[in-house]
Structure 1
Amino acid sequence: MPPPWSAASPTSSPSSQPGPDEHERPFGVSEGRSKEKERQKGAVRVDVLQVTRVDSGEHHAHAHAHVQYRMYKRRWVGVCAIIVLNIVAGMSLVWFGPIANNVVEAFGFTLDEVNWLGNVVNFTYLPCAALVPAVYARLGVRRTCYIGAVLLLLSAWIRYAGTASSLSVHGKYALLIIGQIIAGVTQPVFQVLIPGYSERWFDLKGRTTATMLMSIANPIGNAIGQLISPLVETPAQSILVLAIIYSAATPFVFIVLDGPPTPPTHAGEQRSPSFMSFVRAMVGREPKERVTYMTRRERSDLVILALAFGVLVGVINAFSILTAQDFEPYGYSDDISGLFGATILLTGIVAAFITAPLFDRVFTHHLALTCKLLCPFLGGAWLGLIWAVRRNDTGALFALMAVIGVTSLTMLPVALELAVELTRNADASSAVLWASACRCAASCCLCFSYRGSSCGAMRM
């Protein structure tokens, strides 16, 4: 009779775990999250000591390393730093939107040229988003953030140099748009790292909340930019204020760390997959035994998610860039136009703070269902603007902005987490979603600008 210890525990046998090719993971089923919870129970993983009897009488003991998962309080320090950096990076996109008419008068630009000061950020984002995951893999989070901080400073003071009165109109515009291009490079540096940072530092009970806090920082920056830029007396002084804000926020980069000494979960101890592994998975060339392998259903779900996320975020970004031009023909001032855009973002931030902990602890397996329920309300609010944008209808406009903000920003971290579940590649999925948003924002800006120039006034 064989000794009782010769039978391996079924829970510890690798063969008992289903491979990624044994069944497909439909959209909305957080299988990866469920498996992670099973691994994380008790916060300590100890593999069973296995002893196998062989014919020669020798015994081979196979013991795996004792791994104790833990979290560190310092993780919140890094979260705060990333929040500040994303807030500052998000200001440049919409800074010129509420003061577009004033910039035209002060510098002699056309409205189309002012629109491009925001739109060029979106176009710059697209190629950079694909490169950032590879840079992270080579240099690490900390050193890549250092590069982003240096670019922040350069963009801020190059922009301010463009306000010099001794320059020609074309010289001013050249420096301003160069500063905006550099600012467009910094945005993916601080945005793409968010899901990966949450995975490295947080367990499943706090990951969505951490992703939410860092993800909404960029929209917070949009809101702050829309509120501050109209308050300064002249566009030149406004650009100086932006440069000072950038300079004050840059030192926060020194408290961003690569990763904890001990990971919080099994996923956190894995090496981040490369962007090329994601590309291979999307074209069906990734080997099935790898964790980054994606079924056809997962690939199609990711395409749908990227398109929806692009519209979700991109339309808001385009709307924020063009707020003054959208509402000025109907008698609304730059201050009120800025408040419209800020309402979208501030109400959404409040909603995200409330809902993110619920997704972590209560509605863990209802992420996709949330998107399906909220999207019709969001679409109805955008359609409502067709009839609400008219003179002396401030109350209805603020109400619609609040609905748009609550539904949009609630879905923002949810979509990012769903993309991680589908790809098992946090950096690549984040890059794809944010690039889709910038592509949509750039397209919307061009369409709105063309519509406005052909009709003499911007139409919603």
Structure 2
Amino acid sequence: MSPPTAPEPVPKADSKDATVSGCDDADIQQTTTRELSIAEAAIYRVYRRRWVGLATLMLMNIMISWGWITFAPVSTSTQDFFRLQKASSVNWLSTVIFLAYICMSPVVIYTLRNFGVRAALLFAAGFSITGVWLRFIGARVGSSDGGHFPIVMVGQILIGFGQPFVLSAPAYYSDLWFTSGQRITANALISLSNPLGAALGQLIDPFLVSRPEDIPNMLLYIAIITTAVTIPVFFVQGRPPTPPCPSSAQEKLPFKSAFPRILRSVEFWLIFVMFSILVGFFNASSSLLNQILEPYGYSENEAGIGGAVLIVVGLLASAVVSPIIDRTHTFLLAIRILVPVISICYIGLIFAPTSRSLAPPYIVLAFLGAASFSLLPLSLEFVVEITHPVSPEITSTILWSGGQLLGAVFILSMTALTDSGTGNMRRALIFQAIISCAASIAALGIGWGDRVVHVQTRRIALDTSEGGQ
């Protein structure tokens, strides 16, 4: 990615769309000059239109995530409607999303790097619209005979093909359009819209499905909303006219140079292990929450509310933590605090449902959501910082691919560990707690001792040294 050529300075009165980092949207000023390849002056600006792309990425993440989680909150009704013999068949509707993500990852990296975020959004819209309408058709046609489950599965796979185009985009988009003092917040708004969609699904789907025969209507409503949400995609601009700060203007390494650099980074792989395990378990727990709670007498509605608590509290916590990290840049300290908290929450999830009352599991889910959602965007941005000038879409796609792969593995493993007679998932929850502790060990090893030199925030240092902040 070559740094864009800076245009001639534009008078303030004629540039209502541009702002300088740290100033109000109405203000413009030249913040720094640096040597480019032809020794031209560079003007660093942030633009109001960046919020259009950010909002569109948020909406697309919400709907694709809702598409992923659709059947999990109403797993019993789904099993009855499609006349499935085992609950594991319903779980595959979530699992194929994760596997589809991995298949599309190379395409996503190529698309973002060569064609930009607008092309990625168009791909995501095409896959998701086709997928949600196929699901509706599969459920509606022959609904009196249990519908056509294979058609629904194909629709689910297509949604999975669309997901990586929007889930891998936040770090790329924030690097392109935002300054170092705004990137974690921007990343949080986009990335956490994905679990927000899951929260909507957890909360709304059980109310749409009071009996198995309601499944086709639920899929119709989701298909209509998804189609409407894709309209803003056509108004998104690929890249800003001028970069927001020096690190955004710096040319990124080509893939053939970037990948070996990543392979040699111990810190990257420690973060990869931590991130993949925790995202994998979050995906698995979200998909299996109804099955985790049901043996203890919790209803689908109560499990759906629990899923919503997990995500809504997480969003609120991230809304507080992300701006703080943006200002203080205390990435590593936050990781070392949050990851052990998450492990403790998974241990608590073993015991909370046995109380058979709502408060204990809801409290554990609230703390789990708060820590997990605060960790997610800062981890994605921290990896970009320590690997810069590796392009952000490469590192974020690799991290997300690990999380999606382990999400599929954990769903299958936890389903296999479920008691076939009672449906109790205690053994699965113990497995989850033990493996999550490995994530804590990885997190505590990041930048340990002499390796602290490998966790320097390279983009922030560049922006600070060149006056880009």
TM category (shorter chain) comes to 0.7 to 0.9
Q: Post-superposition shift, 1:123?
A: 1.0
| Aligned counterpart in structure 2 of residue 436 of structure 1, from 383, 402, 405 | 402
Determine if the alignment matches structure 1 residue 79 to structure 2 residue 54: yes
Determine if the alignment matches structure 1 residue 341 to structure 2 residue 317: no
Aligned to 2:443: none
| Aligned counterpart in structure 2 of residue 44 of structure 1, from 31, 35, 50 | 31
Alpha-carbon displacement from aligned partner over 1:382-433 (angstroms, at most 9, x marks no partner)? 1012221115321111111111011110011110011101222200011011
Q: Post-superposition shift, 1:169?
A: 6.8
Q: Post-superposition shift, 1:43?
A: 5.5
Cα distance, 1:139–1:159 mapped onto 2, change above 3 Å: same
Q: 2:398, 2:146 → 1: CA distance?
A: 35
Do the aligned partners of 1:263 and 1:269 also contact (CA within 8 Å) in 2?
yes
Determine if the alignment matches structure 1 residue 104 to structure 2 residue 79: yes
Aligned to 1:93: 68
Range moving further from structure 2, 428-437 or 166-175: 166-175
Q: 1:116, 1:195 → 2: CA distance?
A: 29
Q: Post-superposition shift, 1:130?
A: 2.9
Do the aligned partners of 2:139 and 2:147 also contact (CA within 8 Å) in 1?
no
What is the 5 A alignment of 1:18-37?
none
Cα distance, 1:254–1:311 mapped onto 2, change above 3 Å: same
> Helix, strand or coil: the match of 2:73?
coil
Aligned to 2:120: 144
Do the aligned partners of 1:133 and 1:274 also contact (CA within 8 Å) in 2?
no
Q: 2:280, 2:194 → 1: CA distance?
A: 13
Alpha-carbon displacement from aligned partner over 1:36-85 (angstroms, at most 9, x marks no partner)? 99xxxx96333589xxxxxxxxxxxx982111111111111111111111
**Quick one: which amino acid aligns to residue 77 of structure 2?**
N
Q: 1:389, 1:202 → 2: CA distance?
A: 43
Do the aligned partners of 2:118 and 2:237 also contact (CA within 8 Å) in 1?
yes
Alpha-carbon displacement from aligned partner over 1:169-211 (angstroms, at most 9, x marks no partner)? 7971111110110000111101111111111111112111111
**Quick one: which amino acid aligns to residue 195 of structure 1?**
A
Do the aligned partners of 2:138 and 2:149 also contact (CA within 8 Å) in 1?
yes
What is the 5 A alignment of 1:4-403?
44-47=31-34, 64-109=39-84, 110-166=86-142, 172-233=148-209, 234-283=214-263, 296=264, 299-361=265-327, 363-364=328-329, 366-403=330-367
Aligned to 1:415: 379
Q: 1:78, 1:242 → 2: CA distance?
A: 22
Do the aligned partners of 2:136 and 2:223 also contact (CA within 8 Å) in 1?
yes
**Quick one: which amino acid aligns to residue 356 of structure 1?**
S
Alpha-carbon displacement from aligned partner over 1:280-333 (angstroms, at most 9, x marks no partner)? 3234xxxxxxxxxxxx4xx11111101111122221111111111111111000
Instruction: Give the 4+ runs in structure 1 shifted more than 3 A.
Output: 167-171, 270-277, 453-456
Q: 1:331, 1:280 → 2: CA distance?
A: 51
Do the aligned partners of 1:98 and 1:334 also contact (CA within 8 Å) in 2?
yes
Aligned to 1:8: none
**Quick one: which amino acid aligns to residue 241 of structure 1?**
Y
User: Any gaps of 5 or more consecutive residues in structure 1?
Assistant: 1-35, 50-61, 284-295
Cα distance, 1:224–1:128 mapped onto 2, change above 3 Å: same
Tell me how large the CA RMSD over aligned residues is: 2.2
Q: 2:33, 2:208 → 1: CA distance?
A: 60
**Quick one: which amino acid aligns to residue 95 of structure 1?**
T
Q: Post-superposition shift, 1:436?
A: 1.1
Q: Post-superposition shift, 1:217?
A: 0.7
Range moving further from structure 2, 153-162 or 314-323: 314-323
Which has the higher Rg, Structure 1 or Structure 2?
Answer: 1
**Quick one: which amino acid aligns to residue 371 of structure 1?**
I
Q: 2:127, 2:221 → 1: CA distance?
A: 17
Q: Post-superposition shift, 1:455?
A: 4.8
User: Any gaps of 5 or more consecutive residues in structure 2?
Assistant: 1-20, 23-28, 430-469
Do the aligned partners of 1:162 and 1:176 also contact (CA within 8 Å) in 2?
yes
Q: 1:319, 1:130 → 2: CA distance?
A: 27
Q: How many residues align?
A: 393
> Helix, strand or coil: the match of 1:99?
helix
Query: Percent same amino acid among aligned pairs?
Result: 30
Do the aligned partners of 2:199 and 2:307 also contact (CA within 8 Å) in 1?
yes
Range moving further from structure 2, 117-126 or 103-112: 103-112
Q: Post-superposition shift, 1:127?
A: 2.2
Cα distance, 1:43–1:350 mapped onto 2, change above 3 Å: farther
Determine if the alignment matches structure 1 residue 405 to structure 2 residue 381: no
Q: 2:99, 2:385 → 1: CA distance?
A: 28
Q: 1:272, 1:217 → 2: CA distance?
A: 27
Do the aligned partners of 1:84 and 1:252 also contact (CA within 8 Å) in 2?
no
Do the aligned partners of 2:172 and 2:393 also contact (CA within 8 Å) in 1?
yes
TM-score by length of 1: 0.81
Q: 1:47, 1:194 → 2: CA distance?
A: 27
Q: 2:320, 2:95 → 1: CA distance?
A: 32
Cα distance, 1:370–1:166 mapped onto 2, change above 3 Å: same
Do the aligned partners of 2:318 and 2:370 also contact (CA within 8 Å) in 1?
yes
Alpha-carbon displacement from aligned partner over 1:254-305 (angstroms, at most 9, x marks no partner)? 122111101111222234544443323234xxxxxxxxxxxx4xx1111110
Do the aligned partners of 1:83 and 1:217 also contact (CA within 8 Å) in 2?
yes
Do the aligned partners of 2:82 and 2:146 also contact (CA within 8 Å) in 1?
no
